[in-house]
Amino acid sequence: MNMPLVSVIVPIYNVEDYLQTCCNSILSQSFNNIEVILVNDGSTDGSCEIAKQIEKKDSRVILIDQRNGGLSAARNAGLKVAKGDYVLFVDSDDWIEKNCIQELYQDIQRNNSDVSCCLAQYISAMGTIRRGRSSFGVNYITGDEILPNALLVKTFPTSACGKLYRRDFLHENGLLFKEGIVNEDTLFSIQIACLAKKISFVDKVLFDIREREGSISRSSFEKLFQDMNIALLSARSFMEEHNCYNEPLDKLYKARYLKSNLYNLLQIAQRLQYPQYCKMYNFCMSSTCYLEYGDFAVFLPRKHRIMYSISKSPFLLFVTMKVLNFFNYRMH
């Protein structure tokens, strides 16, 4: 196989029902100068066997089979062997539109950017389609405007997916995903924003994200709060080390801290019964800086400021989210 222009990294863990759809969407791209790196992260179902069959049928596919180390470890394993000039991450239960790579590649070339981002849509188990955002509103952002934008998630999305990265940019800056935490994208996106010179945007829906609730235990929810704290503290240390941190950014950082933990609170309010929810709510209040940073909610968008005010009352937040959940309204 000739040297690929784009490396597509697909971490795999127990997705036997979705993997074929994901890989078909990648291998049938209009842009075919790609390599597809499948990283089986210790799956216990039939995912690895499906991946082996896919590798046999297409010379562009490379399979890495490793012990379970988590999403970050799987992505990092893919990055270490990637040969393309550009890198795209696709989660194995999602899929991409036929022209996804073509559109992102043309955009990153045209703008000479470090990262190119596209719009995404979310598909529920019932087949309901929900757009994440209707438009980016800008063609690109540069220099000192990138980090404030990323901290408040104005234009630059948090997810590592839906973005084409210049591999040299990642490699030269030693950018990898922090292993052992579940909020790896929060840290990674802030690190990207701290170092990127230009980020461009494609105002088209090119990524399809499957919404799967699954079952999450109490310990998993505790880890959600703990790991978000680790991710955000690590992000702050990274910004300080790279001389990106100053007083105005400190305010935005603390606003982002509120927003990220508010999102976790909304998840538990939607998905837990009241007694379990109260335990997790109290865990958040006692183990994070959520209340301490309350004054910085003024930097958040209006809907998040309202939800932050509501979140000061555990009962009111719980009832509000159950009502919003009934009407299938999602807060992001």
Q: 6-210 is classed in which CATH architecture?
A: Alpha-Beta Complex (3.90)
191 close to 227: Cβ distance less than 8 angstroms: no
- Strands 115-123 and 163-166 come out as antiparallel
pLDDT in single tens digits along all 332 residues of the chain: 579 999 999 999 999 999 999 999 999 999 999 999 999 999 999 999 999 999 999 999 999 999 999 999 999 999 999 999 999 999 999 999 999 999 999 999 999 999 999 999 999 888 888 888 888 999 999 999 999 999 999 999 999 999 999 999 999 999 999 999 998 999 999 999 999 999 999 999 999 999 876 544 555 889 999 999 999 999 999 999 999 999 999 999 999 999 999 999 998 998 899 999 999 999 999 999 999 999 999 999 999 999 999 999 999 999 999 898 777 666 65
- Taking CA atoms, 40 is separated from 3, 88, 92, in Å, by 23, 17, 10
198 close to 114: Cβ distance less than 8 angstroms: yes
Q: What is the pTM of this model?
A: 0.94
Per domain, the residue ranges of the chain are 6-210, 218-326
62 close to 55: Cβ distance less than 8 angstroms: yes
Rounded-to-integer distance, Cα 194 and Cα 244, Å: 7
